[in-house]
Structures are given as structure tokens and as C-alpha cells.
Amino acid sequence: MSYQALYRTWRPQKFEDVVGQKHVTKTLQNALLQEKVSHAYLFSGPRGTGKTTIAKVFAKAINCEHAPVAEPCNECPSCLGITQGSISDVLEIDAAS
């Protein structure tokens, strides 16, 4: 088993699990349900506010095989691949280092 940082192990997997960003998650869920997703999104803010977490959940919801959905299923190959980091269409860039 390979090493995985604690923050990645316990990262929320659904919008409903994200704490303190209700206005952001609701806006993104509305875009998903209305199928009005923009070509690009910029997430900015202080460290630890959930930018990467929300981006990953959003990417899963967009690519979920059950789309359009407000929450990713976390069971289809697309959702699992994004969670595991094996889908080459979704890259997580570690800007902290």
C-alpha cells in the first residue's frame, strides 16, 4: 500500500460533507443541475479553506456517469478514477511546494 497524506485520506467526497462553504457548493450544484457549467473555474482563498476539495468533488460530479447530478455517486468508474488519481483528464497540482 502506498503512502497517502491524512488530508487526502479524509478529504470530503461530496458537497454535503464540505464544511463552511455552503454558498460555493450550492452555486456549483445549481450549475450542475441546470447543465450550465462554465469552461473554467478559479478557486482562490487562504490555505485550508477547501479549494482543492471542492474542485475535486466538482470534477467528479461533472464527469459522473449518472450526470447531471448535484452530488457525485462515488461508485462509477469516473468517480473512482478521479478519487484515486488515475484519470488523466483531472490533474491535482500541488501548489504548496
> At how many degrees (to 10) do helices 77-84 and 51-63 cross?
150
> Where do the domains of the chain lie?
12-84
Name the percent of the chain lying above pLDDT 90. 78
Could you tell me the pTM of the whole model?
A: 0.89
- Architecture label for domain 12-84: 3-Layer(aba) Sandwich (3.40)
Residue 11 CA to residue 31 CA, distance in Å, equals 22
Task: Output the pLDDT for position 63.
Answer: 96
What distance lies between CA 21 and its chain's CA centroid?
Answer: 13
Q: Other C-beta atoms within 10 Å of 63: how many? A: 18
Task: Output the pLDDT for position 97.
Answer: 57
pLDDT tens track for 9-54: 788 999 999 999 999 999 999 999 999 999 999 999 998 899 999 9
Task: Output the pLDDT for position 9.
Answer: 74
Residue 6 has pLDDT above 70, yes or no: no
